[in-house]
Amino acid sequence: MLRRCLDAIYDGRGTGRFRWDQLSNEETTHLDSRFRVELPREYQLADGDGFDFRLGDAQFNLAFAITPGRWLIPGSGENAPYLLITGSDDSSVISAGVVRAELELLGAPNRNGRRAFTAAETLPPEPDDGFNLRLFTAGDGRRSTT
């Protein structure tokens, strides 16, 4: 799914861009928006009540960043549970972690009122340490995560 999102943003044939570092700031922002739409669609996640989505009885907001540690949390998302996802186009790995966006873990707001995590221990590990979101097709054909 991340591959599809990236390829749609790159549009190498139409734009001549094939790598993340070739994209404009607006295009990189569009990837976050596209990923937020595609993830719940891909895994048939229900909309949450005041949250981005619901997984069973748990409700979460979603924060996606291509660079680990660059998740931006809006003021309305403080103290909410977040599924933090990062993906590496170079290594073709996607990693995820869950954290509550407690105010003491967030830095000062930027000009848009969004805050980044400042406490390293709250962030998902780097992709090569074995804590990767592994997707597979279960026996009944549904997508599952481990």
Position 141 scores a pLDDT of 36
Across 120-133, average pLDDT: 43
Q: State the pTM of this model.
A: 0.73
Across 4-30, average pLDDT: 89
The partner residues of 84 in beta bridges, in order of sequence, read: 63, 97
Position 20 scores a pLDDT of 87
As given in the structure block, the two tokens for residue 84 are 């933090």
Contacts made by residues 55-64, CB under 8 angstroms, sequence distance 24+: 60/98, 61/101, 62/36, 64/31, 64/32, 64/35, 64/36, 64/39
pLDDT tens string 58-117: 899 999 888 877 889 999 999 999 999 888 888 778 888 888 999 888 999 999 999 998
For the cut 80, the answer to whether the pLDDT of residue 120 exceeds it is no
Nearest by Cα to 134 from 102, 83, 93, 75: 93
C-beta atoms surrounding 25 within 10 Å: 7
- The rounded radius of gyration (Å) of the Cα atoms in the chain is 16
Choose the CATH number for 2-145 among 3.30.590.20, 3.40.50.300, 3.40.50.920, 3.40.600.10: 3.40.600.10
Give 136's pLDDT tier (boundaries 50, 70, 90): very low
Give 143's pLDDT tier (boundaries 50, 70, 90): very low
As given in the structure block, the two tokens for residue 132 are 């990767």
Question: What is the sign of the dihedral through the CA atoms of 74, 78, 83 and 87?
Answer: positive
Position 80 scores a pLDDT of 93
| Tokens 């994209």 sit on residue | 23
Position 110 scores a pLDDT of 93
Question: What is the Cα–Cα distance from 60 to 55, expressed in whole angstroms?
Answer: 8
Position 119 scores a pLDDT of 60
Answer for the pair 97, 62: CB distance below 8 angstroms, yes or no: no
